Amino acid sequence: MSKSPASFSGKFIVSAKLEAKPGRADELQIILSQVKDRARSDAEPGTISYRVSRSGDMFLIFEEYADIRALKAHSGSDFFKEAMGKAMSLQAKAAELLFFEEI
């Protein structure tokens, strides 16, 4: 487990935990679903898997990338930046990110 994938050379997993502000989870779910749909599209060929789950105000995102370039393509896209700008205003606190290298 790492706080950064910088030293990874191949496939890796990202887990992201987000908490919505009270009463804002449905709005956050819409944004996260849009990000998921794009990640699963041809627009992000290096994204192997992208799953979003919810329990109340908590969201867990499971992302699998072919390599660091794929993550940079995902997180560097204008679409992602705009979506996350909106999502941040709906979150109770900053997202918790963990990175796991494929073994």
4 in any annotated domain: no
Tell me whether residue 39 is in a domain: yes
Task: Tell me the one-letter amino acid at 25.
Answer: A
Query: Per the domain annotation, does 37 fall within a domain?
Result: yes
Query: What CATH number has the domain bearing residue 43?
Result: 3.30.70.100
- The domain total for the chain is 1
The answer as to whether 2 is a domain residue is no
In a domain, 42, yes or no: yes
Within a domain: 62 = yes
The answer as to whether 97 is a domain residue is yes
Rounded to a whole number, what is the distance in angstroms from the first to the last CA of the chain? Answer: 12
pLDDT at 2 over 80: no
Q: What are 11-34's pLDDT values in tens digits?
A: 999 999 999 999 999 999 999 999
Q: What is the DSSP string of 9-31?
A: -S-EEEEEEEEBPTT-HHHHHHH
Backbone φ and ψ for 83, nearest 5 degrees, come out as -65, -45
Q: What is the pTM of this model?
A: 0.91
The confidence band for 1, taking pLDDT boundaries of 50, 70 and 90, is low
Structural domain boundaries, residue 69: 12-101
